[in-house]
Amino acid sequence: MTDTYDLSTDIVDRIAGLSPGSPTHATRHKRDKVAAATQRSYEALFDSALLDLSLTERLLVALYACTLSNAPALAEHYAERLASSNADRAVIDQIVEGPLNESDIQEPRLRAMLSFTRTLIESPIDGDKTALERLPAAGISTPAVVALAQLIAFLSYQIRLTAGLRALQVLNATELA
């Protein structure tokens, strides 16, 4: 984890299509504390040193969340990161081609994670104690449950932030044209 926030590697700017010098980029970076905390959240959630939940598992969750949310630019980003991981190609294809039936996933731990992902993304009100307890039952420790829930919740934020910023960027570009 670095303490400096490097604008040039900002993932939200890249996905939303905000170029330095553009009005929307300037607007966003007036709230630089938010931009920095957003980038550092992304880095912390995909930190390879994070124990209990493999980076491949986290990237598969991210790909599934973005696919379910109709966020193609973010889905592509996570698919690119998965391409250089040791993820099972068949699982990636099942997620991308959808609709995924989680019961087709052989590995119980990943199956439990992807089911939890769908509930939180599509219908968070339907989550209950029983749904949460399926995670420890699949061998996922409490710190890993926290990392997983934070990851899916962060993705819900990242999806809406990039969608809103992209729309603002298009609005500004249209009006300047």
Partner 1 sequence: MSRVIEAHGFTNRVLGWHAWLDVVQLADASCEQIAVLEESHPKAKESDYYLFLVHQPEILRQRSAAFNAIMYAPGGLPRAERELASTVVSRINGCVYCASVHAQRFEQLAKRDDVIEQVFNNPATAGASPREKAIVQASIDLTLAPGQVEPAQLRALREVGLSDDEILDLIHSVAIFAWANRLMLNLGEPVG
* Nearby residues of 56 by Cβ (< 8 Å), 6 or more positions away: 82, 85, 86, 87
Token digits for 22? 């553009």
| Burial zone of 129 (CB within 10 Å; 0-12 exposed, 13-18 middle, 19+ buried) | exposed
Residue 151 near residue 62, CB atoms below 8 Å? yes
**Site mask, partner 1, residues 71-110, x = CB under 8 A?**
x---------------------------------------
Residue 114 and residue 64 in contact, taking contact as beta carbons nearer than 8 Å: yes
3-class SS at 127?
Answer: coil
Shortest distance, position 83 Cβ to partner 1, whole Å: 23
Among 7, 44, 55, 96, binds partner 1 (CB under 8 A): 44
When binding is defined by CB under 8 A, the residue of 61, 105, 114, 152 that contacts partner 1 is: 152
Is 137 a binding residue for partner 1 by CB under 8 A? The answer is no
Quote the least distance from Cβ 33 to partner 1, whole Å. Answer: 4
The residue whose two tokens read 């996905």 is 15
By 3-state DSSP, what share of the chain in percent is helix, strand and coil, each rounded to 5? Answer: 75, 0, 25
**If binding is defined by CB under 8 A, does position 167 make contact with partner 1?**
yes
Span interacting with partner 1, options 20-28, 76-84, 94-102, 105-113, rule CB under 8 A = 20-28
Binding interface with partner 1 (CB under 8 A): 1, 23-24, 27-28, 30-31, 33-34, 36-38, 40-41, 44-45, 47, 50, 69-71, 116, 119-120, 124-125, 127, 129, 131-133, 136, 142-143, 145-147, 149-150, 152-154, 156-161, 163-168, 170-172, 174
